[in-house]
Structure 1
Amino acid sequence: MIRLANVLIVDTNAGRAAALAERLGRGGYHAGIAPDAAEGMRMATAEHPDLVLIGQSEGTDPVEFGRALTENAVTADIPVVVFADQLTADLCDRALSAGLTDAIAMGCDDTELFARLRPLVRLAVMHAELRQRAQVAARFGVIARDRVEGPGAGNAAVLVIGDDAEPVTTVLGTAVEAVTCANLYEAESLLTGRNFDAAVLSFREEPESVLGFCSQVRNNPRLFNLPMVLLAGMATDPAEAYRRGATRVLPHPVDPVVLRSAVIALVRRQQLRWAIRGALNDSLQNATRDGNTGAYSRAFLDSYLAGRLEVARTQGRQLSVIFFSAPNIEGVRRQFGDDAALHLTQQVGQWITGLLRAEDLTSAFKANEFCAVLPDTPLVEAEVVMHRIAGVLAYTDFAVREVYQPVKVWVQVGCADARDDDDVDTLLRRARRDID
């Protein structure tokens, strides 16, 4: 059975825990239940789930138990969420101070629940990918980090968008650099020009285009990971806002402590993603790199993919592979020479890597061809990624050394997801069937 995530629920209330597990199951998550903190710690240490959700544990404060998980070397990289019947300002503040990843109200609907959990699952995937790459890199004599410590919110920048930005910047204070802009048009320009760790949308009266803006950001190849907090008025349906790409939807006006906790937690999460991305690059060294393209080598791909297939089989996880082939690079070679063709190939590989998530791996496969491995990704999502990247490449004018005109590439693509009986060769062969 395919699982989107393995979740551990720690809650003394057996009925509530079972109801939450059933609810998660409908979303494709597999949930185990621990009745108290001691069993929760044992299961978290032994099973290393993707997420830990903490309710009530007799004799143990949920936030303090969450803190214990974040301070345990074995479980420190597991996202930890406290859930309660009602979110209070005090609970949100304490959860933030304890280093917990989030706090969620039990009464939220499924749209919000899964919208809030999905980024945490991706964070767990990034941690797992870091461990996987470090393990494979070691076979090639490369020492790479297999974990990173969560950074604070220092040196973070938050874009506050709207005509009611001042209360937000006041709440955030000096915890982050708050950059303000009055409208969505100006926001587009600012987001294009620099990196932000989060965005907050705060309008006295929300423009009709605000949800469209959320969708636009979420579909942008460079911004799709940007956390967005929407302070929503009565006219906005929170469920629709989550569907359109908002990361967190809060009522407007909102308790200042709840707002600050939400934004700082998202900033920390974003900076952790950047830290993991940097650590993932540790494994890309001369021994694991393709000498021509700069991407991972074919030998690394074969070793890495064998391990990924084993994880997919034993843990019921999804795994997809995408191929990108650019046959017209040979025309560039014939017309402008080997150096021009090599430069173009390197750029194509860099663009593919840049348009994928940090946890996805790009490898050289053979001349003018790249393979991308997408862990914990179903085929339907991989196909969307494949066509998006192919479209971007097709519309890009490449500047190639010693070629004094823009160069276009067209790509052939192929995609497949892993089956239980796959080995490396059968999976790659099936993914390439539309290219060969």
Structure 2
Amino acid sequence: MIRLANVLLIDADSARTGPLLARLSHNGYHAVVAETPEQAIGHARSEHPDLILVGDAGQSPIVTGGALRQDAQCADIPMVALVTRISADMASDAYVAGLDDVVCWDYDDVEMFARLRPLIRLATMHAELRQRSAAAAAFGISARSRATAPEGNRPSILVVGHDRDGVGAVMGDAAEVISSVNLYDAENLLERRNFDAAIITADSDIEPSLAFSSQVRNNPRLFNLPMVMLMDKGASATEPYRRGVSRVLHRPMDPGIMRASVLSMVRRQQLRWSIRAALFESLKDASRDPLTGAYNRAFLEKYLTERLAVATTHHRHLAVVFFYIPNIEGVRDHFGDDAAEHLAQQLGQWIGGLLRAEDLSALYAQNQFCVVLPDTPLVEAEVVMHRIAGVLAYTDFAVREVYQPVKVWVQVACTDARPDDSMDSLLARAQAKLD
């Protein structure tokens, strides 16, 4: 059975771990239980799970999680404290200990898994960094296999809407806080500069704030941006989480919980940027296609062989997408090699720019790009495929020595890995769908 993630649950109370295990399994997560800190650290070191949920195993979740975070072999595993009730001191202590979140045992599935999914994707980024570093070594490229959040970077936070909650005062000197009352202006700000988080102060009419959240989450450049929504007491958090909000806090807001929550998400966002930079250390002359700037076919085949072995062994999703742009040759026939190469170069940049950092894009053959999407079910890969194809098809490309906009048509194909696949059979199945 394919798993969305492997989870280690640490808690000594089987009466509450049993129901949570059932919920995790129902949502595609494979979990095992450790009843003591010693069992937990042994399992974490040997199995390196994607996520650790830390309950009560004879000591507080913060103490157990903090000890795991200090262990070199577990340092890059996302960790969440499981508690019955969250206080400001607890949220602050968890942040200081290096934990990624604090959640309650009784959260409903919508909130629970909305909070866990970004951490699973962070684990995918860490795993991808290790995979690319190993593949790069075969090409004589030295690339980091681990990355950490930078120290001392003062984050930038955008407050969207009327700041009647005093967010600026709560964050104090911990962050640069910029406010935008108008949602349209806020969206433009997010397009023009990088923010580490956005805090949406929703009014009683919540729909404009929900629409803004959806717009941000569907933006290829902003889909990882942490978004906190402040809502009136009693308002349902279900729809905000479904629209892509990372965290919902209700009024009256506890300043300590808000500050710790935002800073935890900021640290996670800065870690993503650090991993992204480290991932591209594997993209050097020996692994790069000189024309498009994407990875070359030799690197793709080395990397994908190893990626497929990991996916098969650990029962994980792995999807492959092909983009074929046949009318590049029409541009070549009418305007020459330089124009065709300039168009191919732009297409490589656009495809790479529309992907997540952990997805890999390579030039597979002339005018044909192969994209590998780790830990991605086929249905999600198809969404990515059609989104990118749509953007390319509706873009007017400015090509050197061509004095009119150039439009392209894109042929696409997508498949996912099967238990008996080799690298050749996986690519051949996707290729066959292009014909």
Amino acid at match of 1:197: D
Contact 1:306 1:423 (C-alpha < 8 Å) held by counterparts? yes
Q: Residue 209 of structure 1 aligns to a residue in which SS?
A: helix
Aligned 1:272-291 pairs, distance under 5 A: 272-291=271-290
The residue aligned with 2:56 is: 56
Separation in 2, partners of 1:274, 1:9: 28
How does the TM-score come out when normalised to structure 1? 0.97
Separation in 1, partners of 2:167, 2:205: 16
Q: Deviations over 1:126-167 (max 9, x none)?
A: 000000000011011111000012234623211001112561
Q: Residue 432 of structure 1 aligns to a residue in which SS?
A: helix
Contact 1:172 1:260 (C-alpha < 8 Å) held by counterparts? yes
Aligned 1:58-97 pairs, distance under 5 A: 58=58, 60-97=59-96
Using the TM superposition, give the Cα deviation of residue 10 of structure 1 relative to its aligned residue in structure 2, in angstroms: 0.7
Q: Deviations over 1:159-178 (max 9, x none)?
A: 00111256111111111111
Query: Is the counterpart of residue 219 in structure 1 residue 218 in structure 2?
Result: yes
Number of positions where the alignment pairs a residue of Structure 1 with one of Structure 2: 435
Q: Residue 335 of structure 1 aligns to a residue in which SS?
A: helix
Contact 1:379 1:416 (C-alpha < 8 Å) held by counterparts? yes
Identical aligned residues as a percent: 57
Contact 1:378 1:417 (C-alpha < 8 Å) held by counterparts? yes
Q: Which runs of 5+ in 2 are unaligned?
A: none
Q: Residue 191 of structure 2 aligns to a residue in which SS?
A: helix
The residue aligned with 1:33 is: 33
The runs of at least 4 consecutive aligned structure 1 residues that moved more than 4 Å come to none
Contact 2:7 2:29 (C-alpha < 8 Å) held by counterparts? yes
Separation in 1, partners of 2:206, 2:244: 16
Using the TM superposition, give the Cα deviation of residue 234 of structure 1 relative to its aligned residue in structure 2, in angstroms: 4.0
Using the TM superposition, give the Cα deviation of residue 14 of structure 1 relative to its aligned residue in structure 2, in angstroms: 2.0
Q: Which runs of 5+ in 1 are unaligned?
A: none
The residue aligned with 1:374 is: 373
CA RMSD, 1 decimal:
1.3
Amino acid at match of 1:36: T
Deviates more, 1:350-359 or 1:333-342: 333-342
Using the TM superposition, give the Cα deviation of residue 403 of structure 1 relative to its aligned residue in structure 2, in angstroms: 2.3
Query: Is the counterpart of residue 205 in structure 1 residue 216 in structure 2?
Result: no
The residue aligned with 2:15 is: 15
Using the TM superposition, give the Cα deviation of residue 235 of structure 1 relative to its aligned residue in structure 2, in angstroms: 6.5
Contact 2:148 2:275 (C-alpha < 8 Å) held by counterparts? no
Contact 2:319 2:416 (C-alpha < 8 Å) held by counterparts? yes
Query: Is the counterpart of residue 330 in structure 1 residue 320 in structure 2?
Result: no
Q: Residue 30 of structure 1 aligns to a residue in which SS?
A: strand
Q: Residue 207 of structure 2 aligns to a residue in which SS?
A: coil
Using the TM superposition, give the Cα deviation of residue 376 of structure 1 relative to its aligned residue in structure 2, in angstroms: 0.4
Q: Residue 172 of structure 1 aligns to a residue in which SS?
A: helix
Separation in 1, partners of 2:7, 2:177: 35
Amino acid at match of 1:29: Y
- CA 1:358/1:24 → structure 2, altered by over 3 Å: closer, same or farther? same
Q: Residue 173 of structure 1 aligns to a residue in which SS?
A: helix
The residue aligned with 1:245 is: 244
Q: Deviations over 1:166-224 (max 9, x none)?
A: 61111111111111011212211211211111100114534431111111111112211
Contact 2:135 2:299 (C-alpha < 8 Å) held by counterparts? yes
Q: Residue 371 of structure 1 aligns to a residue in which SS?
A: strand
- CA 1:232/1:166 → structure 2, altered by over 3 Å: closer, same or farther? closer
Deviates more, 1:202-211 or 1:386-395: 202-211
Contact 2:124 2:358 (C-alpha < 8 Å) held by counterparts? yes
Separation in 1, partners of 2:269, 2:391: 25
Aligned 1:351-390 pairs, distance under 5 A: 351-390=350-389
Contact 1:321 1:428 (C-alpha < 8 Å) held by counterparts? yes
- CA 1:247/1:152 → structure 2, altered by over 3 Å: closer, same or farther? farther
Contact 2:165 2:253 (C-alpha < 8 Å) held by counterparts? no
Q: Deviations over 1:81-116 (max 9, x none)?
A: 101011111110100111111110111100000000
Q: Residue 321 of structure 2 aligns to a residue in which SS?
A: strand
